[in-house]
């Protein structure tokens, strides 16, 4: 990463530390950041959606999206870029949670959160999708708040998550056309009186 990008990132993190780390907000943001650990919250949500026929398409799409995000962000880019975490390099930045054991770029928390939340925003009724998106934004911002990611890690993670979600939607659409059994598996229950319309 270039020096200009590093300075941009570092200044934002230090501004957050000096201006936003206050009182009750600290434990709240720590709690929110742990909601995204290992993507478990989003995985449980996705599996729950898959259990009900009405939301199964969203669940299947989310599972594909998060898998794509995992491959691109965690398995490829993190190891290729190998960016050191900000608390190791930014002078004066204090870490608020435990040290992380992988590289910084891009943010896996942001990728997972937006991969799932963007699918829900596009596939479910607006209140559910908007709620998921708000939580995804909070999780992404919390990674800056606690000092484990640079802003550019978050921006790229969000972009990968959204792209993964749209790619997953395209994959599901193609599978529906190609495989009738898959189409039946994700089809919502048809209400009586609406069949054949």
Q: What spatial distance separates the first Cα and last Cα of the chain, rounded to whole Å?
A: 57
Instruction: Kindly state the tokens that stand for 93.
Output: 């930045």
Alpha-carbon span 93 to 134, nearest angstrom: 27
CATH class of 25-186: mainly alpha
Say if residues 92 and 14 touch (Cβ distance below 8 Å): yes
Burial zone of 8 (CB within 10 Å; 0-12 exposed, 13-18 middle, 19+ buried): middle
User: Tens place of pLDDT for every residue, the chain, 197 residues?
Assistant: 578 999 999 999 999 999 999 989 999 999 999 999 999 999 999 999 999 999 999 999 999 999 999 999 999 999 999 999 999 999 999 999 999 999 999 999 999 999 999 999 999 999 999 999 999 999 999 999 999 999 999 999 999 999 999 999 999 999 999 998 888 888 876 555 544 43
Supply 107's token pair. 């943010």
Helix, strand and coil percent figures for the chain, each rounded to 5: 75, 0, 25
pLDDT of residue 189: 67
The domain spans of the chain are: 25-186
Say which residue the tokens 């009182």 belong to: 23
Its pTM surpasses 0.85: yes
DSSP annotation of 95 = P
- Other CB atoms within a 10 A radius of the CB of residue 41 amount to 17
**What integer pLDDT is reported at residue 67 of this predicted model?**
98
């Amino acid at each position: 990463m270039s020096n200009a990008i590093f300075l941009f990132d570092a200044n934002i993190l230090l501004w957050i530390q000096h201006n936003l780390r206050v009182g009750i907000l600290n434990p709240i943001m720590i709690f929110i950041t742990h909601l995204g650990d290992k993507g478990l919250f989003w995985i449980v949500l996705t599996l729950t959606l898959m259990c009900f026929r009405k939301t199964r398409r969203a669940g299947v799409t989310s599972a594909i999206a998060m898998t794509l995000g995992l491959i691109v962000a965690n398995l490829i880019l993190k190891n290729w870029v190998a960016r050191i975490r900000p608390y190791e390099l930014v002078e004066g930045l204090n870490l608020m949670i435990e040290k992380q054991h992988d590289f910084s770029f891009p943010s896996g928390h942001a990728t997972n959160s937006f991969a799932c939340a963007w699918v829900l925003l596009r596939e479910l009724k607006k209140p559910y999708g908007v709620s998921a998106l708000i939580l995804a934004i909070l999780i992404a911002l919390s990674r800056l708040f606690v000092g484990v990611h640079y802003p550019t890690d978050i921006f790229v993670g969000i972009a990968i998550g959204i792209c993964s979600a749209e790619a997953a939607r395209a994959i599901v659409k193609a599978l529906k056309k190609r495989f009738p059994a898959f189409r039946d598996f994700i089809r919502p229950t048809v209400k009586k009186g609406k069949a054949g319309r």
